[in-house]
Amino acid sequence: MKIKWFGHSFFLVESFGGKKVAFDPYDYSVGYPLPDVIADMVCVSHHHHDHDNVSLVRWEPELIDEPGLYVREGLKITGFPTFHDREKGKKRGKNVVFRLEMENLSLIHAGDLGIIPEGSELSQWQPVDVLLVPVGGIYTLDGKEAKQLVDILQPKIVIPMHCKTPYLKFELHSAQEFASLFLRSEFLSTSQIEITLEHLPLSVEVWVLQPD
């Protein structure tokens, strides 16, 4: 599994067989450069401008923006209904958390998760090998709340997103604040990583990527 972070909550996940799934593409107003992206599918956690610029993704991808089960040629995507805020959607609406199962790995993209679901709901997300989690607070979970989610799910790799970077045009907390809560964290100099089942860490590690 190859994972590339473009910034904010926008990721491209690619199998070694070439299937590509994009998550939460942003628009120009967020501040990041608009990349040239091709994908087979694009998952949108919610329809806010910084997450649903589907037209950015070329190759006429299939749009997945609702909870449910989607099985497509060697991969499986499950969407779980959640909320964007602590008032069960009254302030910012609903949010879909997506789990992608690809090449014997399970990846969760938590979108703009604003409140940690009940334990019975979280059990449906497991097992989780890789967790892409918002940590910037204000609009989503903050670092401490994201740490609580990690403690429950126990993924092997955690990649923070929806956080402050030099590109971002509005205020969020940084990934550094989140990473400081863990014994094992690494600040990488790249926007892209490759992961295989055989090379997963034995316990939770935070990997902070750098957008191009």
Residue 22, φ and ψ in degrees, nearest 5: -100, 150
- pLDDT digit string, tens, across residues 171-182: 999 999 999 999
Q: CA of 199: how far to CAs of 85, 88, 104, 129, 160, in Å?
A: 35, 38, 12, 11, 20
Structural domain range at position 64: 2-208
pTM: 0.98
Instruction: Give pLDDT, residue 74.
Output: 87
Per DSSP, 152 falls in state H
- Domain total in the chain: 1
5: pLDDT strictly greater than 90: yes
37: pLDDT strictly greater than 90: yes
Q: Which two tokens stand for residue 137?
A: 């607070």
Q: Could you tell me what percent of the chain has a pLDDT over 90? A: 97
Q: Across all residues in the chain, what is the average pLDDT? A: 97
Distance CA 204, CA 200 (A): 10
Instruction: Give pLDDT, residue 84.
Output: 97
User: Which CATH number fits the domain that encloses residue 10?
Assistant: 3.60.15.10
The answer to whether 43 and 24 are in contact (CB under 8 A) is yes
Instruction: Give pLDDT, residue 36.
Output: 97
Q: CA of 158: how far to CAs of 62, 165, 190, 201, 209, in Å?
A: 27, 18, 15, 11, 10
- pLDDT digit string, tens, across residues 101-146: 999 999 999 999 999 999 999 999 999 999 999 999 999 999 999 9
CA atoms within 13 A on the CB side of 13: 28
